[in-house]
Amino acid sequence: MNIAHLFHTSCAATALLLSLAAPTFADESAPVPIPLEVNDSVPATGFAADAVTDVLGLRIGMTQDEAQAAFAAADLPLMENAEEIAGAGPYDPKRMGYRPRSGEVMPTFSWNDGFRMSFQPIEASAGLTMYSEQADALGALAEYTNGQFLWVSYGSPSVGGRVQEIRRSQTIAEPVDTQVMLDSITAKYGPPSRIKEQGRLWIDIADYHKDGQLVAESDSRRLLFSLKCKPPGLARGNSDILYSDANANAWFGNGRDPRALQEGCDANIFVQLHFGDLPNTIDRIDVHVIDNVARSENANAITMQAEAVHAEWLRSVAGSKDAPDL
């Protein structure tokens, strides 16, 4: 099975409903979804020019073709090639491997004047999710996600359809010394803006970017940045949430330009290292890389097109310009 083809095999489109305020009129809607404008230019980025955004070969700003090539080169074992695990018990996984996934969104707008319109579905995300094939309570084989994945979200065709967000969650087969992991993270992404150990559970490491530069740990604003920039949560367990209705809304965001917000981050890299059972070891890594500026440009590009369609409808239903004789 061709992996590049699989990434174009999308699940059903998710309607992304956005309500825009306006006076109340009759209920109307555009008859059919319309295509988004295509613009191949590279959108602005919130990352510093020398920032490293690489996660297993995936980088912010990649085209969809480049991202698909990076997925194929990531050396993550596919389920379709997985062999049975020797000596597996009756309730142990029989096979384990990654399956390609992708998701669509269908941006849909409505106004209080009754007008509603949709754009044609677009591919918004792609990824590799690990599954375990094991017996259920009745002994039948079934597949379950086990919380490991590599995932990206794309901007719309109106901003070049490029990678604007990357997530990774992976168990480390052989636990690694904690200091070795910390040194490795620093060597790749540079000195972090913030690092904090959360008890005996994990270590949070974050890079915050603002105004084209990395915010240093010594920056007096770091607490404000840590509150505004830390991701609301990293998907674990059933990673289907990354392709769910809720994530479609998160994909669009609130449209606010972080460059206009004093306390907001333009971009950030967040790494969470989970402590293993053995002392001073790490056995799991979660990574979230997000370009808030690129996401804002994506939302604004789509909203402007929707507003143009709405304005044309208002002109079409406007009253006569000729006043009657009085």
Query: Could you tell me the mean pLDDT of each successive run of 10 residues in the chain, 326 residues long?
Result: 34 58 51 91 92 97 97 92 83 88 92 91 93 82 87 96 96 94 95 87 92 82 73 68 76 85 88 94 95 94 94 85 81
Q: Where are the beta strands (DSSP E) in 40-118?
A: 95-111, 115-118
pLDDT value at residue 233: 66
Cα atoms found within 13 Å of the Cα of residue 297, Cβ hemisphere only: 24
- Provide the 10 A C-beta neighbour count for residue 104: 17
Q: What is the distance, to the nearest Å, from the Cα of residue 147 to the centroid of all Cα atoms in its chain?
A: 16
Burial 235-273 (b: 16+ CB within 10 A, else e): beeebeebbeeebbeebbbeeebbeeeeebbbbbbbbbb
Q: Check the CA dihedral 236-240-244-248 and report its sign.
A: positive
Please enumerate in sequence order all residues whose Cβ is within 8 A of that of 109, keeping only pairs 6 or more positions apart, or say none.
17, 18, 19, 20, 116, 117, 118, 303, 306, 310
The two structure tokens encoding residue 191: 């000195």
Question: Under DSSP, is residue 241 helix (H, G, I), strand (E, B) or coil?
Answer: helix
Instruction: Say what angle helices 292-316 and 245-252 make with each other, to 10 degrees.
Output: 90
Q: Domain ranges in the chain?
A: 3-316
pLDDT value at residue 234: 66
Q: How many angstroms separate the most distant Cα atoms in the chain? A: 94
Contact status, residue 239 vs residue 169, Cβ threshold 8 Å: yes
pLDDT value at residue 323: 80
3-state secondary structure 143-199: EEEEEEEEEEEECCHHHCCCEEEEEEEEEEEEEEEHHHHHHHHHHHHCCCCEEEEEC
Closest CA to 273 of 177, 205, 189, 183: 205
Q: What is the pTM of this model?
A: 0.88
The two structure tokens encoding residue 173: 């087969």
